[in-house]
Structures are given as structure tokens and as C-alpha cells.
Amino acid sequence: MKFNYEKLGNLIEISEKKNSDLTVDNLVGMNINKEFIPSVANTNGTNLARYKLITKNQFGCNLMHVGRDKSVVVSKYSEENPSIISPSYKIFQVKDTDLILPDFLMLCFLRSEVDRFCWFYTDSSVRGSLDWSKFCEIDIPLPDLDTQQKIVDIYQFFSDRIELKKKINKNLEEIVENHFKEKYIKNKPQVYTKTTLNTIITITSGKRPSVKDNLKTKEMNIPLIGASSIMGYTNQYLFKEKILITGRVGTHGIIQRFDSKCWPSDNTLIIKSKWYEYVYQILKTINYTKLNRGSTQPLITQSDLKNIEIILPSEKELQEFENWAKSIMQKVDENKKENSKLSNLRDILLPKLMNGEIDVSNIEV
């Protein structure tokens, strides 16, 4: 099936509506995963009347870091209530929903070829900005509306299952976390030993890989781990055992779990322990902001983590907690791996669906 194509600029129109009446105070930003996120910007003393309004089915677009991130950050706003966003972002909307569905247009922006096109046309600045006129040159496939909706439904089928497993994992993690806090944080028995985290962990720093890529291929399939998430793939590994990873730079406080080949980058700290689940829960209770060293580039050191004060139950009790938590967290880890497979399959299917390689007319979702 062959689709017709149209330039993006012919399908969209800019919105410049500002928060002039100051009735909206929910400030949002966007991340590299092309999602809206709550903004952490300090708005004290900021004139919010300058901020742009974004409403349901409009798109936010950040063209300032395309060269640096090798990705153009575009997100479709789906909430019923409007939000405000930085005046440096572009806001646009579909001109004619009888020609293209907003949800389908968002899928177009998720294609890797869009990121490659935009990256190629960035300027020579440090961040690598993209001119709006070049952004509007993106070719957008235009199947009929029924086909557009089918493609959206197929993509959403995978996304819904991924989201369901994420919710299950959140509930499972809360069960373990609440039990840990109730037993070892709120009610600290005097019989427990007071010590430092160093007594039950070993800790090292990650390294910058000599080979890396942003695409997962047969040769480049080992995750390259950043401070808060997988940031690419490589063909080498530093670890293949169970490890916990946290960010070395910044205030992330995000703890990642891995038990297969991976390469933690140089902005991470790698923690190993016989009491893996107990240490995982301890790491989640730490106030990482207080550990920050520096100002413009806050730093958490190995010594900072090693010297965290903890309580230590008997080895028998630790083993009981380890066995119980492990039985629950194994399901969490299995769900994460299943989500990774679903996500990979969804990402493989998307370009084929958007290029008309798959006939969706007889597919029921």
C-alpha cells in the first residue's frame, strides 16, 4: 500500500496564545522521550503572562537541542485542562482534522527518520538548534482517515499493555517499600545494629564507552545506562551480574536495577551487595539533594553513599526480607523485560505501518 505525502508546514498552524489573564498556573515541560512532564523550574518572580497556553490536541515543540540530543522533542498535549509552557517552545495544531488526525501526526514524530532529518538540518551552535522552516519540511504520510485510525489503534494496543504492566509494577514496588519503611524506618528496634552503608555494599563508578550508538541492532544491543535511564546501546559490557545504578551527577535519586549485560556510563555509581533488595530499599529512602556537592553541577561521591547511616537487622532477618522481597521484585523485573520486548516490537512495527508496508485493513484491534 502506497501513501501520499504532504509537507508538515501545510498541515499545521502556529498558536501564540499566551497566559495573559493568568488563570492557568500548571507549568509543564517536555523530555527527550517526547512526553509532557511537570516542570521543576523555579517561577518565583517570573512573569507567567509571557508563558504560552497549550490545550488538548495541540503540540509542543522544542527546537533548541536537536543537534545535541539527536532528536526533535515534540509532544501532543492530551489533558482536558490547559497548561502553560515556556515561551521558548513552539505551539502548533492540526489545521484540518478531516485530513490528518492529531494522534496519527504524533506517531509521525516518533519515527526515527524524523529525528535523523531534523538532526541533519540543525545549525552549528553548541546545542544544535533547528530552524522552524526546516522543521516544516518534514514529509508526513497521508493515508485515509480509517487507515490512520487503525494505525493509531495498533500502536495504542501495545502502549496500553506497557502502561498496564507499569501500573502493576508500581503496586508491587509499593508493597515492598511500605513493608520496609514500616519495619525498618518507622519502628527501629533498639536491637538492630547501627552502622554505615559501606558495611554491606561495594561501590564503583561507571565508565565512558569507547563505542556507542542510539539504535538497538543485532551488534549494538547492550544497554548504555545513564543517570536516570537507558540512553543508548553499545556492543560492549562492564557488568553482567545483579547491580544497582544511581546517578553520580545531579539530584536524580533514580535507582535502576540490572541483572544482565550492561554498560553504566561515567555519570553513574554502581552498587553491589549480598543484600540486594535491602540495599535497594535503603537507596530509595536517601535524600540525594542533601548529598549534592557543588553548585552548577552538583556531585554525589562514593564516600557520600558509603557513609550513609543505616540500621542492620540480624543476618537471619535480612535473609528473610531478602527472600520475601526477591519473590515480589522478580515479577517486577520480569514485567520490565516484557515491556522492553513489547516496546521493541512496537518500535519495529511503527515505521512499517507508517510506510504502508503492512496492510491494516483486515486487522482487528
Question: pLDDT of 236-265, one tens digit each?
Answer: 899 999 999 998 876 567 899 999 899 999
Dihedral (Cα; 330, 335, 341, 345), 10-degree rounding: 170
At position 210, the amino acid (one-letter code) is: S
**pLDDT for 69:** 78
Length of the chain: 365
The pTM of this model reads 0.79
> To the nearest whole percent, how much of the chain has pLDDT over 70?
90
Q: How far apart are the C-alpha atoms of 101 and 95, rounded to whole Å?
A: 10
236 versus 128: the higher-pLDDT residue is 236
For residue 196, the cross-strand partners are 309
CB burial of residue 277 (10 Å; 0-12, 13-18, 19+): buried
199: DSSP letter: G
The residues with which 224 forms a beta bridge, in sequence order, are 232, 263
- Measured in whole angstroms, the distance separating CA 34 from the mean position of its chain's CA atoms is 9
Quickly count: other Cβ atoms within 10 Å of residue 59's Cβ.
Answer: 21
According to the model, what pLDDT value does residue 293 have? Answer: 64
Sign, Cα dihedral of 314, 315, 317, 322: positive
pLDDT (0 to 100) of residue 126: 60
What DSSP letter does each residue of 228-288 carry, written as one string? SSEEEEES--SB-S-EEEEESBSS----EEE-SSBEE-TTEEEEE-SSHHHHHHHHHH--H
Torsion of CA 27, 31, 33, 38, to 10 degrees: -30
Gap between the Cα atoms of 40 and 52, Å rounded = 17
**Alpha-carbon torsion 105, 109, 113, 118, what sign?**
positive
315-345 per-residue burial string, b: 16 or more CB within 10 A, e: under 16: eebbeebbeebeeebeebbebeeebeebeee
Check residue 106 and give its pLDDT.
97
Kindly give, in sequence order, each residue whose CB lies less than 8 Å from that of residue 201, ignoring residues fewer than 6 positions away.
271, 272, 273, 279, 305, 306
pLDDT of 70 reads 82
pLDDT at residue 307, rounded to an integer: 92
Main-chain dihedrals φ then ψ at residue 239, nearest 5 degrees: -135, 150
Is the separation of the CB atoms in 363 and 154 below 8 Å? Answer: yes
**What's the pLDDT at 232?**
78
Q: What is the pLDDT of residues 164-192, one digit of tens each?
A: 999 999 999 999 999 999 988 877 666 78
> Is residue 11's pLDDT more than 60?
yes
With CA atoms as reference, report the closest residue to 141 among 353, 361, 362, 349: 353
Q: Give residue-wise pLDDT tens across range 277-330.
A: 999 999 999 887 777 665 555 678 899 899 999 999 999 999 999 999 999 999
